[in-house]
Amino acid sequence: MIDLHTHTNESDGTYTPAELVAEALAKNLDALAVTDHDTFAGYDLALPLARARGFDLVCGIELSTRLALSRGDKKTVHLLGYFLHEPPSVEFRGWLAELQAGRRERNVRLITRLKSLGVSIELAEVEALGRSLAGRPHFAKILVSKGYATSIQHAFRDLIGEEAPGFVERDSPNIAIAIQRVIAGGGIPVAAHPIRLGIRDHGAEEAAIAEMRDAGLLGLEVFHSDQSASDSARYLGLAKKYDLAITGGSDFHGGTKPNIQLGSGAEGNVNVPKQVLDNLRLKFRS
Ligand SMILES: [Zn+2]
Ligand SMILES: [Zn+2]
């Protein structure tokens, strides 16, 4: 069994890279991909530990991207990138640093906007909570703890959500650009947890996946903790139909999502055979 979707505390998980590798070994996994949001820091720290134990560690990343569908609506798509043969290029790492800088710049604008609304909040507080991934969820927590909102939902509704007076746009990259960046950097772009596109109509869902394929997508996360057996069967069919590689993982976050176990997902609903990684490496031989 393998797990191709996991997070360390370098993004929004709670396990250190060392703890994650130890857990993978304890669970007898055949391979593990670290797919932190916007950073390779967790993978970089885990790699020497995995090597020392002869464990198969895959380099991955998860990016937030924008998909503007031709029928009009906009979606946020999490794009996984897998670097199977070579480490990510220096250019790709540089692009990640640019995304990070954009995220920070947006937080600075959000602080200014909230202060203009009479809220007492400092960037340092937000970054202490969210580290390199500091963003609106961390703002919301602080707004609640300081009494500016009674709940996370209210903080979004009244202060920082899209319809609220404190809203500041964040520019996540267009999915087509992110796909091209991943490929140019030596990676395989895969659409994460397609169920979270939230498209109930199966025809419309398929059309969205076809649009991503046309933008250069090369894989689909068929197996995921949020996806039922029938979802997975549907995505398996779509992956075959559109010649997309099949991937799968638990999206393990440690204590942030305590119902999800490394390797096996939520109540054992994820079970990805080693063959999936073998096929991936075969399909994208360097
Ligand atoms: Zn995700
Ligand atoms: Zn994830």
Q: Which residues surround ligand 2, an ion (CB under 5 A)?
A: 62, 251
What's the 72 CA to ligand 2 centre distance in angstroms? 26
Tell me, in angstroms, the distance from the centre of ligand 1 to residue 163's CA: 24
Ligand 1 centre and the CA of 118: distance in Å? 34
What secondary structure does DSSP assign to 177-237, as a single string?
A: HHHHHHHHTT-EEEE--GGGG---SHHHHHHHHHHHHHTT--EEEEEETT--HHHHHHHHH
For residue 256, what pLDDT is reported? 82
Query: In the predicted model, what is the mean pLDDT of the chain?
Result: 95
Core vs surface per residue 5-41: b (16+ CB within 10 A) or e:
bbbbbbbbbbbbbeebbebbeeeebbbbbbbbbbbbb
> How far apart are the CA of 204 and the centre of ligand 2, in A?
24
Q: How does pLDDT run across 111-160, given as a tens digit for each residue?
A: 999 999 999 999 999 999 887 778 888 999 999 999 999 998 899 899 99
Distance 80 CA to ligand 1 centre (A): 8
Specify the pLDDT at position 93: 97
Alpha carbon distance 159, 205 (integer Å): 32
* Span 50-92, pLDDT tens digits: 999 999 999 999 999 999 998 888 899 999 999 999 999 999 9
Domains of the chain: 2-88+186-283 (3.20.20.140)
Averaged over 177-187, what is the pLDDT?
97
pLDDT tens per residue, range 225-265: 999 999 999 999 999 999 999 999 999 999 888 999 999 99
Crossing angle between the packed helical segments 136-145 and 123-130, to the nearest 10 degrees: 110
**What's the distance, CA 128 to chain centroid?**
21
What is the distance between the alpha carbons of residues 239 and 191, in angstroms, rounded to a whole number?
Answer: 11
What percent of the chain clears pLDDT 70, i.e. is strictly above it?
Answer: 100
Ligand nearest to the CA of 77: 1
**CA 232/CA 57 separation, integer angstroms:** 24
Q: Residue 27 pLDDT > 90, yes or no?
A: yes
Is 185:91 a contact under the CB 8 Å cutoff?
yes
